[in-house]
Chains A and B, each alone.
Chain A
Amino acid sequence: MRLSSILFASSFTLIVATGWAHLDAGPNADGPAQLAVVQELTVAGHQVGVALDRGRVVAGSEVHLRVDAVPPDAVGRELAVRVLAQTGSPMSRVPTPPREVAKATVRLAATPVTIPLTLPGLGGRGGDRLAVAGRISQYTITVDPAGREDAAVALPAFAYEPEAFRLAIDAPAGGRAGDALDVTVRVTSVADAPLRGLTIRASGTLFTSSDEVRIATLAPGATAVVTLHGVRGEPGAGDATLAVYGSAERGGTASLWTRLDADTGALAAIAPPFALMPGLY
Chain B
Amino acid sequence: MRALGRNLAALALGALAAAACLVVASAAGLTPRASPPTARVVAEDASAPLARVAIHYAPAADDVALPVWRQLFAALPPRVEVEVAVARAADFARFRALMADAGVDLARFHAVVVGHELTTWSRDRFVALTEGPGRGAVLAPPRIEAGAVGRAGDMASPDALARAVWDRPARRAPFVFEGGDLAASAHTLFVGAELLTRSRGRGDFDRAAIDRALRREVAGDIVWLGAQPGDVPHHHVMMYMVPLDDHTVLVGDPGAGAALAAREPAAAALPLDADQAGHQRRFDHVADLLAARGLRVLRMPVVVLADAGSYVTYTNALFDREPGPRGRPVVYLPTYRLPALDAAAAAQYRDLGYLVRPIDVSSIYQLNGSLGCLVNVMARGR
Q: Is the CB of B22 within 8 A of A257?
A: no
Q: Across the interface, do A27 and B10 meet the contact criterion of CB distance under 8 Å?
A: no
Distance between A277 CB and nearest chain B CB, rounded to angstroms = 8
In the complex, A155→B62 CA distance in Å? 33
Chain A positions 9 through 44: 1 when the CB is less than 8 Å from some CB of chain B, otherwise 0: 111111110011101111110111111111000000
Most buried by A among B63, B142, B143: B63
B: contact size bracket: 35 or more
Closest Cβ of chain A: how far from B166's Cβ, in Å? 15
Within the complex, which residue of A87, A96, A138, A205 is in contact with B89, where a contact is CB–CB below 8 Å? A205
Q: Check B142 against A32 for contact (C-beta < 8 Å).
A: yes
Residues of B within 8 A of A16 (CB): 18, 21-22
Minimal beta-carbon separation of B172 from chain A (angstroms)? 4
Q: Is the CB of A203 within 8 A of B145?
A: no
In chain A, residues 197-232, which have Cβ atoms closer than 8 Å to a Cβ of chain B? Answer: 199, 201, 203-210, 212
Judged by a CB distance under 8 angstroms, whether A65 is at the interface is no
Q: How far is the CA of A241 from the CA of B171 in the complex (A)?
A: 30
Determine how close the nearest CB of chain A comes to the CB of B231; give it in whole angstroms: 13
**Are the C-beta atoms of B145 and A55 separated by less than 8 Å?**
yes
A58 to chain B, nearest CB (A): 13
Contact A35 B18 (CB under 8 A): no
Q: Which residues of A contact B203 (CB under 8 A)?
A: 35, 38
A35/B369 in contact, CB under 8 A: no
CA A19 to CA B59, docked complex, whole Å = 55
For the complex formed, measure the closest distance between the CB of A32 and the CB atoms of chain B, giving whole angstroms: 5
Expressed in whole angstroms, the Cα–Cα distance for A210 and B19 within the complex equals: 64
With a CB–CB cut-off of 8 A, which chain A residues contact B22? 15-16, 19-20, 23
Determine if A89 is an interface residue (Cβ-Cβ < 8 Å): yes
Task: Decide yes or no: A204 and B143 within 8 Å by CB, A16-B18, A92-B367, A140-B200 being known contacts.
Answer: no
Q: Considering the chains assembled together, what is the distance between the CA atoms of A199 and B66 in angstroms?
A: 14
Closest to B119 in A: A91
Query: Which B residues are in CB contact (< 8 Å) with A38?
Result: 201-203
User: Hey, which chain B residues are within 8 Å of A138, CB to CB?
Assistant: 147
Contact assessment for A94 and B368 in the assembled complex, using a CB-CB cutoff below 8 Å = yes
Q: Are B309 and A97 in contact (CB under 8 A)?
A: yes
Contact of A91 among B13, B60, B213 (CB under 8 A): B60
Docked CA distance A27–B13 (Å): 31
The answer to whether B63 touches A199 (Cβ under 8 A) is yes
| Beta-carbon contact of A23 and B31 below 8 Å | yes
By a CB distance below 8 angstroms, the chain A residues around B98 are 210
At the interface, yes or no: B61 with Cβ under 8 Å from chain A?
yes
Q: Is B342 an interface position by the 8 A CB rule? A: no
Q: How far is the CB of B215 from chain A (nearest CB, A)?
A: 10
CA distance A87 to B366 in the complex (A): 13
B98 vs chain A, min Cβ distance (A): 5
* Binary interface encoding of chain B residues 51-94 relative to chain A, with 1 for a CB under 8 A from any of its CBs, else 0: 00000001111111000000000000000000000011111011
Q: Is the CB of A95 within 8 A of B309?
A: yes
Within the complex, which residue of B7, B17, B26, B124 is in contact with A7, where a contact is CB–CB below 8 Å?
B7
Pick the residue among B11, B97, B117, B307 that contacts A96 (CB under 8 A).
B307
A204 contacts B17, C-beta separation under 8 Å: no
Residues from chain B with Cβ under 8 Å of A30 in the complex = 171-172
Contact of A203 among B94, B121, B199 (CB under 8 A): B94
Which residue on chain A has the smallest CB distance to residue B173?
A31
- Nearest to B37 among chain A residues (CB) is A28
Closest chain-A Cβ to B30's Cβ sits at a distance in Å of 9
| CB pair A25 B34 closer than 8 Å | yes
Q: A4-B7, A203-B90, A205-B88 are in contact. Are A35 and B15 (CB under 8 A)?
A: no
Residues of B within 8 A of A (CB): 3, 6-7, 9-15, 17-19, 21-22, 25-26, 29, 31-35, 37, 58-64, 87-91, 93-94, 97-98, 101, 116-117, 119-121, 124, 141-153, 171-176, 178, 180, 197, 199-203, 213, 216-217, 234-236, 307-309, 367-369, 373
10 inter-chain pairs at a CB distance below 8 angstroms, sorted by A residue, are A4-B7, A15-B14, A20-B22, A31-B173, A32-B142, A91-B120, A92-B367, A94-B178, A233-B89, A281-B117
Report which A residues bind B (CB closer than 8 A).
1, 3-5, 7-16, 19-21, 23-28, 30-38, 55-56, 87-98, 136, 138, 140, 142, 152-156, 158, 160, 199, 201, 203-210, 212, 233, 241, 243, 245, 247, 253, 255, 257, 271, 274, 276, 281
Extra inter-chain contacts (16) besides given A24-B35, A140-B200, CB under 8 Å? A7-B14, A16-B21, A20-B25, A92-B369, A94-B178, A98-B234, A136-B147, A156-B145, A203-B59, A205-B89, A205-B90, A207-B90, A209-B94, A245-B60, A271-B149, A281-B116
List of 5 A-B pairs having minimum Cβ-Cβ separation, nearest first: A154-B201, A93-B369, A11-B14, A31-B174, A97-B234
